[in-house]
């Protein structure tokens, strides 16, 4: 169990550019979640996958955001035409199944800064 891995750890980009983050979940975890955390706030849910199927998307996930999980393994989160308000920590988590008592295991996040 190597834990949830996120890359890059930090991303600095200019407004209007596209960025992509990667998340590698704990192996054999079939659920994968994305959250966004802004300074001084708790994480907010963005979307989650059961294997390769994207089952739920938050209203926070505008048309500029897209997430994929091809083959049900790693996942990518892409933000197009970044805006100042996209600056945040993007957290990925995974869990082993559908049971509500299964805790989500978090990665260390990708911190995005928009210049």
Partner 1 sequence: AQSVTQLGSHVSVSEGALVLLRCNYSSSVPPYLFWYVQYPNQGLQLLLKYTTGATLVKGINGFEAEFKKSETSFHLTKPSAHMSDAAEYFCAVRGSAGGTSYGKLTFGQGTILTVHP
Q: Which residues bind partner 1 (CB under 8 A)?
A: 4, 6, 31, 33, 35, 40-45, 48, 55-56, 58, 91, 93, 98, 100-101, 103-109, 111
Kindly tell me which of 10 and 15 has the beta carbon lying closer to partner 1.
Answer: 10
The least distance separating partner 1 from the CB of residue 81, rounded to whole angstroms, comes to 26
| Residues 101/75, Cβ–Cβ less than 8 Å | no
The least distance separating partner 1 from the CB of residue 73, rounded to whole angstroms, comes to 19
| Residues 78/19, Cβ–Cβ less than 8 Å | yes
Strand partners, 28: none
Kindly tell me which of 31 and 69 has the beta carbon lying closer to partner 1.
Answer: 31
| Residues 89/20, Cβ–Cβ less than 8 Å | no
Q: How many CB atoms lie within 10 A of CB 95?
A: 20
């Amino acid at each position: 169990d190597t834990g949830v891995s996120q890359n890059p750890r930090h991303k600095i980009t200019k407004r209007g550019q596209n960025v992509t983050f990667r998340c590698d979940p704990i192996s054999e975890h079939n659920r994968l979640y994305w959250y966004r955390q802004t300074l001084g706030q708790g994480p907010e849910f963005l979307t989650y996958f059961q294997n390769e199927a994207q089952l739920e998307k938050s209203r926070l996930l505008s048309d500029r955001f897209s997430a994929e999980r091809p083959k049900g393994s790693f996942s990518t989160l892409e933000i197009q035409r970044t805006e100042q308000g996209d600056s945040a920590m993007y957290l990925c988590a995974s869990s082993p199944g559908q049971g509500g008592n299964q805790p989500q295991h978090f990665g260390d996040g990708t911190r995005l800064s928009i210049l």
